[in-house]
Amino acid sequence: MIERFIRDVPDFPKPGILFKDITPLLQDGPAFARCIEQLLAAVPPSSYDLICGIESRGFLFGAPLALRAGKGFVPIRKPGKLPYKSVSQSYDLEYGTDRIEIHVDAVAKGQRVLIVDDVLATGGTMNAAVKLVRQVGGTVVGTCFLMELSFLNGRQRLSDIAIHSLVKY
Ligand code: AMP
């Protein structure tokens, strides 16, 4: 179902990258709602206490999922965006390098965390997010994606973590 609402944009943001554009999905109310229901069904809410979403497209799915599951939401953000004391992690991206940050008090010790993003590509971003959540005392119980680009082997990078994805390419 979701595949119908994902638009392939060749050579964005760089030549050779086939960008998976989720804006047609967000634009369609019933499709967006079904997608959140599918994420909800993919991981039992009883298995986690908190959802972390990765800026920025992870927010678009993580926050509605948190609301739907009755859990809190924690933003993992690009550098310099979080106002309070933060810790950060650098990582390699499919197209470049970047850094992400989390507030030091975002997760209580031992809280079970589900981390959400839109696309699993090389796994670099999610791997950094997992490290951040662990660094601030959380237990990562799993990761959740709309899409997984299987040919980039992101799963190998996240070998010790449960991965749920709605669509595999
Ligand atoms: P990676 O760290 O390589 O797993 O890349 C994942 C991050 O980059 C996610 O936050 C995605 O939103 C974004 N991303 C990577 N590749 C693509 C792609 N082909 N289409 C859309 N987003 C992508």
CATH of the domain at 122: 3.40.50.2020
Question: Stretch 22-47: mean pLDDT, rounded?
Answer: 98
Question: Stretch 139-155: mean pLDDT, rounded?
Answer: 97
For the CA of 125, the nearest atom of ligand 1: 2
- CB-defined site of ligand 1, < 6 Å: 17-20, 54, 57, 93-94, 117-126, 154
Does any domain span residue 91?
A: yes
Does any domain span residue 39?
A: no
For the CA of 117, the nearest atom of ligand 1: 10
Provide the domain count of the chain.
Answer: 1
**Which residues are known to be catalytic?**
57, 94
User: Which range of residues forms the domain containing residue 117?
Assistant: 45-168
Does any domain span residue 33?
A: no
For residue 85, the CA-to-ligand 1 centroid distance in Å is 27
For residue 101, the CA-to-ligand 1 centroid distance in Å is 17
pLDDT at position 44 is: 98
Separation of CA 52 from chain center: 8
What would the pLDDT profile of 98-123 be if each residue is shown by its tens digit? 999 999 999 999 999 999 999 999 99
Does any domain span residue 65?
A: yes
Question: Stretch 30-39: mean pLDDT, rounded?
Answer: 98
Does any domain span residue 94?
A: yes
Cα 132 to Cα 135: distance, rounded to the nearest angstrom: 5
Does any domain span residue 77?
A: yes
Which residues are bridge partners to 100 per DSSP? 89
One-letter amino acid for residue 40 of the chain: L
Asked whether the CA dihedral 59, 60, 62, 64 is positive or negative, the reply is: positive
pTM exceeds 0.85, yes or no: yes
Asked whether the CA dihedral 138, 42, 66, 116 is positive or negative, the reply is: positive
For residue 45, the CA-to-ligand 1 centroid distance in Å is 25
Residue nearest to atom 5 of ligand 1 (CA): 121
The best mutation among 92, 125, 153, 163 to test binding of ligand 1, ranked by most ligand atoms within 8 Å of the C-beta, falls on 125
* Mean predicted lDDT score pLDDT of the chain: 96
Does any domain span residue 123?
A: yes
